[in-house]
Structure 1
Amino acid sequence: MSLSKDSFVPLAKFFEIRETNDNLYEYIDGTVFMSPSPSTKHQRVSGRLHLKFGNYLIGGDCEIFAAPYDVELTKDGIEGNKIIIPDISIICQKSGFNEAKYVGVPNLIVEILNPSNQSHDLITKLNLYMNYGVKEYWIVNPMLDSITVYFLNAEGMYEQFDIKTRTGKIKSNFLKGFDVELEYVFN
Protein backbone atom coordinates (compact mmCIF):
# COMPACT_ATOMS: atom_id res chain seq x y z
CA MET A 1 0.00 0.00 0.00
CA SER A 2 1.41 3.39 -1.04
CA LEU A 3 1.78 6.03 1.66
CA SER A 4 2.52 8.88 -0.72
CA LYS A 5 -0.09 8.86 -3.47
CA ASP A 6 0.16 12.51 -4.47
CA SER A 7 3.58 13.71 -3.41
CA PHE A 8 7.24 12.90 -3.94
CA VAL A 9 9.07 11.78 -0.81
CA PRO A 10 12.81 12.54 -0.86
CA LEU A 11 15.10 9.63 -0.02
CA ALA A 12 16.29 11.33 3.18
CA LYS A 13 12.67 11.67 4.36
CA PHE A 14 12.11 7.97 3.60
CA PHE A 15 15.01 7.02 5.89
CA GLU A 16 13.63 9.38 8.55
CA ILE A 17 10.21 7.68 8.34
CA ARG A 18 11.83 4.27 8.74
CA GLU A 19 13.83 5.38 11.77
CA THR A 20 10.75 6.59 13.64
CA ASN A 21 8.69 3.38 13.62
CA ASP A 22 8.85 -0.40 13.21
CA ASN A 23 6.78 -0.79 10.03
CA LEU A 24 8.35 -2.23 6.89
CA TYR A 25 8.66 0.36 4.14
CA GLU A 26 9.86 0.16 0.56
CA TYR A 27 10.87 3.10 -1.64
CA ILE A 28 10.40 3.28 -5.41
CA ASP A 29 11.38 6.58 -7.04
CA GLY A 30 9.87 8.86 -4.42
CA THR A 31 6.88 6.71 -3.49
CA VAL A 32 6.84 4.98 -0.11
CA PHE A 33 5.07 1.63 0.20
CA MET A 34 4.20 0.04 3.52
CA SER A 35 4.23 -3.74 3.72
CA PRO A 36 1.42 -5.28 5.75
CA SER A 37 2.24 -7.59 8.63
CA PRO A 38 2.52 -11.15 7.35
CA SER A 39 -0.16 -13.68 8.24
CA THR A 40 0.56 -16.99 9.94
CA LYS A 41 0.21 -18.84 6.63
CA HIS A 42 2.54 -16.32 4.95
CA GLN A 43 5.19 -17.01 7.60
CA ARG A 44 4.79 -20.79 7.29
CA VAL A 45 5.09 -20.64 3.49
CA SER A 46 8.09 -18.31 3.70
CA GLY A 47 9.84 -20.52 6.25
CA ARG A 48 9.28 -23.70 4.25
CA LEU A 49 10.52 -22.15 1.00
CA HIS A 50 13.51 -20.63 2.81
CA LEU A 51 14.41 -24.06 4.20
CA LYS A 52 14.12 -25.81 0.81
CA PHE A 53 16.10 -23.13 -1.05
CA GLY A 54 18.68 -22.94 1.74
CA ASN A 55 19.29 -26.69 1.74
CA TYR A 56 19.65 -26.67 -2.06
CA LEU A 57 22.19 -23.81 -1.93
CA ILE A 58 24.50 -25.41 0.66
CA GLY A 59 28.05 -25.48 -0.66
CA GLY A 60 27.29 -23.26 -3.66
CA ASP A 61 28.05 -19.65 -4.55
CA CYS A 62 24.59 -18.23 -3.85
CA GLU A 63 23.09 -17.11 -0.54
CA ILE A 64 19.48 -16.79 0.61
CA PHE A 65 18.05 -13.85 2.53
CA ALA A 66 14.58 -13.55 4.08
CA ALA A 67 12.59 -10.42 4.85
CA PRO A 68 13.17 -8.05 6.38
CA TYR A 69 16.37 -7.43 4.40
CA ASP A 70 16.85 -4.35 2.21
CA VAL A 71 17.79 -4.68 -1.43
CA GLU A 72 18.73 -1.48 -3.23
CA LEU A 73 18.23 -2.21 -6.91
CA THR A 74 20.84 -0.73 -9.25
CA LYS A 75 21.49 -1.19 -12.93
CA ASP A 76 23.41 0.84 -15.50
CA GLY A 77 21.04 2.95 -17.54
CA ILE A 78 18.25 3.04 -14.94
CA GLU A 79 17.98 6.10 -12.72
CA GLY A 80 16.15 6.61 -9.46
CA ASN A 81 16.15 4.94 -6.08
CA LYS A 82 14.54 1.60 -5.39
CA ILE A 83 14.81 0.06 -1.93
CA ILE A 84 12.73 -3.07 -1.63
CA ILE A 85 12.20 -5.85 0.92
CA PRO A 86 11.57 -9.12 -0.95
CA ASP A 87 10.15 -12.01 1.04
CA ILE A 88 13.06 -14.16 -0.17
CA SER A 89 16.14 -13.17 -2.20
CA ILE A 90 18.75 -15.47 -3.65
CA ILE A 91 21.94 -13.57 -4.40
CA CYS A 92 25.01 -14.94 -6.16
CA GLN A 93 27.14 -11.78 -6.66
CA LYS A 94 28.94 -11.06 -3.38
CA SER A 95 30.27 -7.61 -4.35
CA GLY A 96 27.00 -5.82 -3.53
CA PHE A 97 26.82 -6.69 0.16
CA ASN A 98 27.42 -4.18 2.94
CA GLU A 99 26.46 -4.26 6.62
CA ALA A 100 22.97 -2.82 6.07
CA LYS A 101 21.76 -4.14 2.70
CA TYR A 102 22.51 -5.58 -0.70
CA VAL A 103 23.13 -3.15 -3.56
CA GLY A 104 22.61 -4.72 -6.97
CA VAL A 105 20.21 -7.23 -8.50
CA PRO A 106 19.33 -10.55 -6.84
CA ASN A 107 19.26 -13.59 -9.12
CA LEU A 108 15.95 -14.94 -7.81
CA ILE A 109 13.21 -13.21 -5.82
CA VAL A 110 10.14 -14.72 -4.16
CA GLU A 111 7.18 -12.55 -3.17
CA ILE A 112 4.32 -14.01 -1.14
CA LEU A 113 1.04 -12.25 -1.86
CA ASN A 114 -1.00 -10.55 0.82
CA PRO A 115 -4.70 -9.81 0.16
CA SER A 116 -4.22 -6.09 0.86
CA ASN A 117 -1.37 -5.41 -1.59
CA GLN A 118 -1.49 -8.01 -4.37
CA SER A 119 -1.15 -5.46 -7.17
CA HIS A 120 2.16 -4.26 -5.71
CA ASP A 121 3.71 -7.72 -6.21
CA LEU A 122 1.76 -8.71 -9.34
CA ILE A 123 2.29 -5.49 -11.32
CA THR A 124 4.70 -2.99 -9.73
CA LYS A 125 7.33 -5.45 -8.57
CA LEU A 126 6.99 -7.81 -11.54
CA ASN A 127 7.81 -4.91 -13.90
CA LEU A 128 10.50 -3.55 -11.60
CA TYR A 129 12.27 -6.91 -11.30
CA MET A 130 12.00 -7.54 -15.03
CA ASN A 131 13.47 -4.12 -15.88
CA TYR A 132 16.36 -4.61 -13.46
CA GLY A 133 17.14 -8.10 -14.75
CA VAL A 134 16.14 -10.39 -11.86
CA LYS A 135 16.61 -13.75 -13.59
CA GLU A 136 13.70 -15.50 -11.87
CA TYR A 137 10.64 -14.24 -10.01
CA TRP A 138 8.34 -16.48 -7.97
CA ILE A 139 4.87 -15.22 -7.07
CA VAL A 140 3.39 -17.29 -4.27
CA ASN A 141 -0.35 -16.99 -3.63
CA PRO A 142 -1.22 -18.51 -0.24
CA MET A 143 -4.93 -17.72 -0.73
CA LEU A 144 -5.07 -20.06 -3.76
CA ASP A 145 -2.18 -22.37 -2.76
CA SER A 146 -0.43 -21.57 -6.04
CA ILE A 147 3.04 -20.63 -7.23
CA THR A 148 3.94 -19.03 -10.55
CA VAL A 149 7.56 -18.93 -11.71
CA TYR A 150 8.74 -16.38 -14.28
CA PHE A 151 12.18 -16.35 -15.89
CA LEU A 152 13.92 -13.59 -17.82
CA ASN A 153 14.13 -14.61 -21.48
CA ALA A 154 16.76 -13.53 -24.03
CA GLU A 155 14.71 -10.44 -24.92
CA GLY A 156 14.72 -9.26 -21.30
CA MET A 157 11.03 -10.06 -20.75
CA TYR A 158 9.46 -12.32 -18.15
CA GLU A 159 8.12 -15.56 -19.48
CA GLN A 160 6.10 -17.99 -17.40
CA PHE A 161 8.21 -21.06 -16.71
CA ASP A 162 6.00 -23.04 -14.34
CA ILE A 163 2.70 -22.71 -12.50
CA LYS A 164 1.06 -25.08 -10.06
CA THR A 165 -1.97 -24.93 -7.78
CA ARG A 166 -2.47 -27.11 -4.69
CA THR A 167 -0.50 -30.17 -5.90
CA GLY A 168 2.57 -31.11 -7.86
CA LYS A 169 6.19 -29.99 -7.93
CA ILE A 170 7.11 -26.43 -8.89
CA LYS A 171 10.48 -26.12 -10.62
CA SER A 172 13.10 -23.41 -10.99
CA ASN A 173 14.67 -22.42 -14.29
CA PHE A 174 17.58 -20.58 -12.65
CA LEU A 175 18.40 -23.21 -10.01
CA LYS A 176 18.80 -26.28 -12.20
CA GLY A 177 17.35 -29.37 -10.57
CA PHE A 178 15.51 -27.47 -7.82
CA ASP A 179 11.87 -28.30 -7.21
CA VAL A 180 9.48 -28.26 -4.27
CA GLU A 181 6.17 -30.02 -3.61
CA LEU A 182 3.24 -27.64 -3.20
CA GLU A 183 1.75 -29.87 -0.52
CA TYR A 184 4.91 -29.25 1.55
CA VAL A 185 4.75 -25.49 0.98
CA PHE A 186 1.07 -24.93 1.76
CA ASN A 187 0.03 -27.66 4.25
Structure 2
Amino acid sequence: MSHYQKDHVSVDEYFKIRESSEDLLEYIDGTVYMSPSPSTRHQRISSRLHIKLGNFLEGKHCEVFHAPLDIELKNEEIEGTKIVIPDISVLCDKSGFTDQRYVGVPDLIVEILSPSNQSHDLITKLNLYMNYGVKEYWIINPMLNTVTVYSLNNDKMYEQHDMQTNVGCVSSKVLEGFQIDLEYLFC
Protein backbone atom coordinates (compact mmCIF):
# COMPACT_ATOMS: atom_id res chain seq x y z
CA MET A 1 0.00 0.00 0.00
CA SER A 2 1.53 3.28 -1.02
CA HIS A 3 0.60 6.91 -0.59
CA TYR A 4 -0.89 8.32 -3.77
CA GLN A 5 0.38 11.77 -2.84
CA LYS A 6 2.14 13.06 0.24
CA ASP A 7 0.12 16.18 1.05
CA HIS A 8 -3.02 16.31 3.18
CA VAL A 9 -6.01 16.11 0.83
CA SER A 10 -9.60 17.20 1.45
CA VAL A 11 -12.40 14.78 0.69
CA ASP A 12 -13.47 16.98 -2.25
CA GLU A 13 -9.93 16.84 -3.66
CA TYR A 14 -9.98 13.06 -3.19
CA PHE A 15 -13.16 12.74 -5.26
CA LYS A 16 -11.60 14.87 -8.04
CA ILE A 17 -8.51 12.64 -8.03
CA ARG A 18 -10.75 9.53 -8.20
CA GLU A 19 -12.65 10.88 -11.20
CA SER A 20 -9.46 11.19 -13.23
CA SER A 21 -7.73 8.01 -12.07
CA GLU A 22 -8.11 4.33 -12.89
CA ASP A 23 -6.24 3.39 -9.68
CA LEU A 24 -7.95 1.90 -6.63
CA LEU A 25 -7.71 4.76 -4.15
CA GLU A 26 -8.71 4.86 -0.49
CA TYR A 27 -9.06 7.95 1.70
CA ILE A 28 -8.18 7.81 5.40
CA ASP A 29 -7.54 10.86 7.58
CA GLY A 30 -6.62 13.15 4.68
CA THR A 31 -4.26 10.66 3.09
CA VAL A 32 -4.91 8.97 -0.25
CA TYR A 33 -3.69 5.38 -0.44
CA MET A 34 -3.24 3.48 -3.68
CA SER A 35 -3.96 -0.25 -3.62
CA PRO A 36 -1.75 -2.53 -5.71
CA SER A 37 -3.32 -4.61 -8.45
CA PRO A 38 -4.24 -7.97 -6.96
CA SER A 39 -2.24 -11.06 -7.86
CA THR A 40 -3.79 -14.04 -9.61
CA ARG A 41 -3.81 -15.98 -6.33
CA HIS A 42 -5.47 -13.06 -4.55
CA GLN A 43 -8.19 -13.01 -7.21
CA ARG A 44 -8.77 -16.77 -6.97
CA ILE A 45 -9.15 -16.61 -3.18
CA SER A 46 -11.47 -13.61 -3.43
CA SER A 47 -13.58 -15.29 -6.10
CA ARG A 48 -13.92 -18.56 -4.16
CA LEU A 49 -14.93 -16.78 -0.95
CA HIS A 50 -17.31 -14.46 -2.81
CA ILE A 51 -19.07 -17.43 -4.44
CA LYS A 52 -19.43 -19.28 -1.11
CA LEU A 53 -20.74 -16.17 0.65
CA GLY A 54 -23.12 -15.42 -2.22
CA ASN A 55 -24.54 -18.94 -2.15
CA PHE A 56 -24.87 -18.82 1.65
CA LEU A 57 -26.66 -15.45 1.56
CA GLU A 58 -29.03 -16.40 -1.28
CA GLY A 59 -32.55 -15.56 -0.13
CA LYS A 60 -31.31 -13.81 3.02
CA HIS A 61 -31.35 -10.10 3.85
CA CYS A 62 -27.59 -9.43 3.54
CA GLU A 63 -25.64 -9.05 0.29
CA VAL A 64 -21.98 -9.70 -0.54
CA PHE A 65 -19.88 -7.38 -2.71
CA HIS A 66 -16.31 -7.66 -3.97
CA ALA A 67 -13.83 -4.91 -4.80
CA PRO A 68 -13.99 -2.39 -6.15
CA LEU A 69 -16.88 -1.00 -4.11
CA ASP A 70 -16.23 2.22 -2.23
CA ILE A 71 -17.31 2.05 1.39
CA GLU A 72 -17.65 5.44 3.07
CA LEU A 73 -17.47 4.51 6.72
CA LYS A 74 -20.06 6.46 8.68
CA ASN A 75 -20.66 6.32 12.40
CA GLU A 76 -22.44 9.14 14.22
CA GLU A 77 -19.84 9.03 17.01
CA ILE A 78 -16.83 9.58 14.69
CA GLU A 79 -16.03 12.72 12.71
CA GLY A 80 -14.32 12.82 9.36
CA THR A 81 -14.56 10.88 6.14
CA LYS A 82 -12.93 7.53 5.53
CA ILE A 83 -13.38 5.73 2.21
CA VAL A 84 -12.05 2.20 1.87
CA ILE A 85 -12.25 -0.51 -0.78
CA PRO A 86 -12.38 -3.85 1.03
CA ASP A 87 -11.74 -7.02 -0.93
CA ILE A 88 -15.13 -8.37 0.18
CA SER A 89 -17.96 -6.71 2.12
CA VAL A 90 -21.17 -8.15 3.53
CA LEU A 91 -23.81 -5.44 3.79
CA CYS A 92 -27.07 -5.95 5.68
CA ASP A 93 -28.30 -2.36 6.09
CA LYS A 94 -29.71 -1.50 2.65
CA SER A 95 -30.22 2.19 3.54
CA GLY A 96 -26.51 2.90 2.96
CA PHE A 97 -26.49 2.31 -0.79
CA THR A 98 -26.00 5.25 -3.15
CA ASP A 99 -25.28 5.14 -6.89
CA GLN A 100 -21.56 5.70 -6.28
CA ARG A 101 -20.81 3.87 -2.99
CA TYR A 102 -22.05 2.42 0.25
CA VAL A 103 -22.28 4.83 3.20
CA GLY A 104 -22.36 3.19 6.61
CA VAL A 105 -20.75 0.27 8.38
CA PRO A 106 -20.57 -3.17 6.77
CA ASP A 107 -21.42 -6.15 8.96
CA LEU A 108 -18.43 -8.14 7.72
CA ILE A 109 -15.27 -7.13 5.85
CA VAL A 110 -12.60 -9.37 4.34
CA GLU A 111 -9.13 -8.17 3.40
CA ILE A 112 -6.68 -10.42 1.54
CA LEU A 113 -3.10 -9.50 2.33
CA SER A 114 -0.52 -8.72 -0.32
CA PRO A 115 3.19 -8.34 0.47
CA SER A 116 2.92 -4.57 -0.01
CA ASN A 117 -0.21 -3.94 2.10
CA GLN A 118 0.20 -6.11 5.20
CA SER A 119 0.69 -3.37 7.78
CA HIS A 120 -2.13 -1.30 6.27
CA ASP A 121 -4.61 -4.18 6.62
CA LEU A 122 -3.23 -5.59 9.90
CA ILE A 123 -2.96 -2.29 11.77
CA THR A 124 -4.60 0.69 10.08
CA LYS A 125 -7.69 -1.05 8.77
CA LEU A 126 -8.11 -3.38 11.75
CA ASN A 127 -8.28 -0.37 14.08
CA LEU A 128 -10.41 1.63 11.66
CA TYR A 129 -12.97 -1.17 11.24
CA MET A 130 -13.04 -1.87 14.97
CA ASN A 131 -13.58 1.82 15.84
CA TYR A 132 -16.38 2.18 13.28
CA GLY A 133 -18.12 -0.97 14.53
CA VAL A 134 -17.61 -3.49 11.73
CA LYS A 135 -18.92 -6.58 13.52
CA GLU A 136 -16.51 -9.04 11.91
CA TYR A 137 -13.17 -8.65 10.13
CA TRP A 138 -11.50 -11.49 8.25
CA ILE A 139 -7.81 -11.26 7.38
CA ILE A 140 -6.68 -13.77 4.78
CA ASN A 141 -2.93 -14.27 4.44
CA PRO A 142 -2.18 -16.17 1.20
CA MET A 143 1.56 -16.23 1.98
CA LEU A 144 0.90 -18.32 5.12
CA ASN A 145 -2.41 -19.94 4.05
CA THR A 146 -4.02 -18.48 7.16
CA VAL A 147 -7.45 -17.02 7.85
CA THR A 148 -8.02 -15.04 11.04
CA VAL A 149 -11.52 -13.93 12.04
CA TYR A 150 -11.99 -11.07 14.49
CA SER A 151 -15.37 -10.20 15.97
CA LEU A 152 -16.47 -7.30 18.15
CA ASN A 153 -16.98 -8.18 21.78
CA ASN A 154 -19.29 -6.39 24.25
CA ASP A 155 -16.57 -3.77 24.88
CA LYS A 156 -16.49 -2.97 21.14
CA MET A 157 -13.00 -4.40 20.84
CA TYR A 158 -11.92 -7.08 18.38
CA GLU A 159 -11.20 -10.50 19.75
CA GLN A 160 -10.10 -13.49 17.74
CA HIS A 161 -13.12 -15.65 16.96
CA ASP A 162 -11.35 -18.21 14.76
CA MET A 163 -8.01 -18.86 13.08
CA GLN A 164 -6.90 -21.71 10.86
CA THR A 165 -3.77 -22.40 8.83
CA ASN A 166 -3.57 -24.71 5.78
CA VAL A 167 -6.40 -27.10 6.73
CA GLY A 168 -9.71 -27.09 8.54
CA CYS A 169 -12.71 -24.82 8.31
CA VAL A 170 -12.97 -21.26 9.50
CA SER A 171 -16.36 -20.00 10.65
CA SER A 172 -18.18 -16.71 10.97
CA LYS A 173 -19.73 -15.48 14.20
CA VAL A 174 -21.88 -12.84 12.49
CA LEU A 175 -23.15 -15.10 9.69
CA GLU A 176 -24.24 -18.00 11.86
CA GLY A 177 -23.67 -21.28 10.04
CA PHE A 178 -21.22 -19.94 7.47
CA GLN A 179 -17.86 -21.64 7.23
CA ILE A 180 -15.28 -22.25 4.52
CA ASP A 181 -12.71 -25.01 4.09
CA LEU A 182 -9.16 -23.69 3.81
CA GLU A 183 -8.07 -26.41 1.40
CA TYR A 184 -10.79 -25.20 -0.99
CA LEU A 185 -9.95 -21.54 -0.37
CA PHE A 186 -6.21 -21.90 -0.94
CA CYS A 187 -6.11 -24.65 -3.62
What TM-score range do you get, normalising by the shorter chain?
A: over 0.9
- Name the residue aligned to 1:119: 119
The whole-number CA distance in structure 2 between the counterparts of 1:67 and 1:43 is: 10
The whole-number CA distance in structure 2 between the counterparts of 1:156 and 1:4 is: 33
State whether structure 2 residue 23 is matched by structure 1 residue 3: no
Could you say what secondary structure the match of 2:162 adopts?
Answer: strand
Could you say what secondary structure the match of 1:3 adopts?
Answer: strand
Paired amino acid for 1:14: Y
Deviation (angstroms), 1:56: 0.4
State whether structure 2 residue 162 is matched by structure 1 residue 162: yes
Could you say what secondary structure the match of 1:9 adopts?
Answer: coil
The whole-number CA distance in structure 2 between the counterparts of 1:150 and 1:77 is: 22
Deviation (angstroms), 1:155: 0.2
Please list the CA deviations of residues 40-84 of structure 1 after superposition, one character each: whole Å capped at 9, or x if unmatched: 000000000000111000010000010000000000120011011
Deviation (angstroms), 1:4: 3.7
Deviation (angstroms), 1:3: 2.7
TM-score (norm 1): 0.97
- Name the residue aligned to 2:98: 98
Matches within 5 A, 1:24-39: 24-39=24-39
Could you say what secondary structure the match of 2:116 adopts?
Answer: coil
Number of residue pairs matched? Answer: 186
- Name the residue aligned to 1:146: 146
RMSD value, Cα: 0.8
TM-score (norm 2): 0.97
Paired amino acid for 1:90: V
- Name the residue aligned to 2:184: 184
Structure 1 residues not aligned, in runs of 5+? none
Deviation (angstroms), 1:181: 0.3
Could you say what secondary structure the match of 2:126 adopts?
Answer: helix
Paired amino acid for 1:166: N
Paired amino acid for 1:2: H
Identity value in percent: 62
The whole-number CA distance in structure 2 between the counterparts of 1:111 and 1:14 is: 22
Paired amino acid for 2:138: W
Deviation (angstroms), 1:12: 1.6
- Name the residue aligned to 1:41: 41
Deviation (angstroms), 1:161: 0.5
Could you say what secondary structure the match of 1:176 adopts?
Answer: coil
The whole-number CA distance in structure 1 between the counterparts of 2:117 and 2:5 is: 15
